[in-house]
Amino acid sequence: MGEMNKKPFFSIIIPVLNGEETIGNCLESILNQDFKDYEVLIIDSLSTDGTIKTVNEFIRTSTSLKLFIIKSSIYEAMNYGIKESNGQYLYFMGCDDILFNNQVLNSVALSIQDTLGVHIVYGNVLFGNGTRLYDGAFTLTKLYHRNICHQSMFYSKAVFDIVGFYDRTYFVHADWHFNFRCFSTSSLNIAYVNHLIAIYSGNGFSTKNVDSLIAHRNEIFMAIAKKADIKQYLKLNLDIRKTKRLLDKMKYIYFVLLFCLVFVFRRR
């Protein structure tokens, strides 16, 4: 009875709309994994091609796959998948992404087990042509400039209780906004592992579109960092203000001094 109620180690969540041409390769890359302790939640937003038929063919061969059909945006689908998931760690794929090899889930599971109490584990991805590796370990400053591919990230279910869900205000870059919130949350244990996780197609929605996050990134991200931790906020200010212009150099010196003062007072 206990075994029947056991939660899977991973929940893999795949939003899809008209992904007939690619969803099969995506699912095969999961089903071919040596590590089998997972469930797969496919969230279809009323596809009009053969996506649902293809998914149902896979479902007939694996009880790990579940299909949900709801009209939704990408991040609505991801939030829905979070609520419906039973796994200890959640992973999000696009229907045109594939896991790098059949050892990926096993390697990540071992890394999680080796890092006690880890909330987020992330690695690298290859872009679709297989020539660009993206993108190593991240700091808050690096994350300010560019996002981590969600195809490289595994989140403990507890993360969504601590940080909340994806903010659908950002219909393209809600995952970037979410990751910045995670990295600004000091209670989260985040670990980088030097593993190749997936081959990312590079043809996804966020690659081809932008939303208000791009235009207002500074005010959005700096507000999050300032609210989370004044020390992180000042450090981020120092890093992003490093330029050769005289005025910016003066601002940089000002923030260095301010950062040092805050640090001294906090030590007392």
Give tens-digit pLDDT for 39-62.
999 999 999 999 999 999 999 999
d(CA 181, CA 42): 26
**Greater model confidence, 230 or 176:** 176
CATH number for domain 10-204, candidates 1.10.490.10, 3.40.720.10, 3.30.365.10, 3.90.550.10:
3.90.550.10
Q: Indicate the burial class of 126 (C-beta count within 10 angstroms; 0-12, 13-18, 19 or more).
A: buried
At 244 the pLDDT is 57
Give tens-digit pLDDT for 81-140.
999 999 999 999 999 999 999 999 999 999 999 888 999 999 999 986 667 899 999 988
The phi and psi torsions of 50 (rounded to 5 degrees) equal -95, 20
Share of residues in the chain with pLDDT > 70 (%): 83
Share of residues in the chain with pLDDT > 90 (%): 62
User: Is residue 64 pLDDT above 80, yes or no?
Assistant: yes
Coil, helix or strand at residue 123 = strand
d(CA 167, CA 186): 20
